[in-house]
Amino acid sequence: MNILFVVPRLPEPPDTGGKIRTYNLIKQARAHGHEVTVLPFSGPDRISAMAVFFAIRRGLPLSVAKYRSSEMAEAINRAIREKKIDLVHFDHVHMGQYIDVCPGIPCIIDEHNVECLILKRLAQNTRNLLKMFVFLREQRRMAALEARVCSKAFRVLFVSEEDRQNYGELGAGFNNTVVVPNGVDTEYFQSTEDRVQRTEEALVFTGSMDWLPNSDSVEYFCKEILPLVWKQSPQVKFYVVGKNPPQNIKKFGENDMRIIVTGGVADVRPYVEKAKIFVVPLRIGGGTRLKILEAMSMGKAVVSTTIGAEGIRCIDGRDIVLADTPQAFADEVLGLLRDEVKRAALSDAGRHLVLDAYDWKIVGQKLNKTYEEIVPKR
């Protein structure tokens, strides 16, 4: 079939969690024989004054109004006509707002996250009353938009059953939803014996630092967890790997040489390889963490908060270690640094989990099945 992917940005290079998912779903759609046209939004990187005015007038979330333009609506309409599109795949609800310009065409919306849930958690994790007000206002607007737009789609894709359940709370029902999980390239993300020998007494976190849940988790880790680790193991290093770190994150590295803030890197694997433990101290988030799947695929022991591991079919103590307070998190990290046998057990279990359930080829089969359910074979 001819499929139109409407995306907020081109997914190449696949250097963020969202772009990695989009890139691989497109790759899998093509692998199943479909013709895929990718249509990115072309607009300013920052929200304009006009977009703010439009958002206020229409009651839209600011992050959605940023992607609103008559030119984009016309581009979608033109692509449908010229390419004889059978199905439109909207990437994120931000692009799903254009569903009304596709009458008579089966549409899918890929909810990488339940966006209103992230905004709710942002409000819960700030002490700034102004920020709390803004987050809650945006959360209400996003919830209304997600319920309205997603109810019009033939299918809404979620990365986990947890997100699917959260979506149900919006009141849009369950009859058009399906779980198509995040995945990992298990051939690219794997470790070898000689790499294992080069590990340091180090921890690592990966992720785009310009995404607030990531920068918040690093700040939380550096302020509240890492000092507890250093009380018993002062030599432990912490690698923060990801593009566009804000100034407050850079300062951690400037003030202590044991914290290495790399900024953007061409390949995260060398940093993951050299660390003994992969840490995911997220307090805010939705969807599932591709970073965890990548770390597991490389055979790394992972310590995460419950929110960080949300949506992944992992079992605490078998595939991953979960801890939700600073002291508990530090204790688990210290225990694993000392216990090579347990690290190895977590390594084996995590690798087997991603091979069995999260390889992109497996995800691609679920995606293709969804396509074939809503577009009859010719």
* From 8-17, 54-63, 97-106, the region with the lowest mean pLDDT: 54-63
Given CA atoms 270, 273, 276, 281 in this order, what sign does their dihedral have? Answer: positive
Better-scored residue on pLDDT, 72 or 15: 72
By the 8 A CB rule, do 98 and 90 touch? Answer: yes
Q: Give the residues across from 359 on adjacent strands.
A: 184
Determine the average pLDDT of the residues in 86-115.
93
Angstrom CA distances, 298 to 216, 236, 291, 327, 340, stand at 25, 21, 11, 27, 16
Question: Quick one: pLDDT at residue 68?
Answer: 87
Residue 20's pLDDT is 93
Q: List, in sequence order, every residue forming a beta bridge with 370; answer none if it has no partner.
A: none
CATH level 2 (architecture), domain 2-183+360-374: 3-Layer(aba) Sandwich (3.40)
Domain covering 193-357 assigned CATH 3.40.50.2000 in the classification: yes
Residue 156 belongs to what H/E stretch?
strand 155-158
DSSP secondary structure code for residue 171 in this structure: T
For residue 170, the model assigns a pLDDT of 61
All CATH 3.40.50.2000 domain ranges in the chain, comma separated: 2-183+360-374, 193-357
pLDDT at 127: 83
Supply the mean pLDDT for the chain: 90
pLDDT for position 299: 95
The first and second tokens of residue 151, run together, are 């109810």
pLDDT of residue 124: 85
- pTM attached to this predicted model: 0.86
All residues at 6 or more sequence positions from 260 whose CB lies less than 8 Å from its CB, including other chains: 237, 238, 239, 240, 253
Amino acid at 187: E
User: What mean pLDDT comes out for the span 121-142?
Assistant: 85
Residue type, 162: E
pLDDT, one tens digit per residue, over 148-176 is 898 899 999 999 988 888 777 665 566 88
Could you give the CA distance from residue 346 to residue 351 in angstroms, rounded to a whole number? 8
The mean per-residue pLDDT over the stretch 252-264 comes to 96
pLDDT score of 73 more than 90 = yes
pLDDT of residue 238: 98
Pairwise CA distance, residues 64 & 142, whole Å: 8
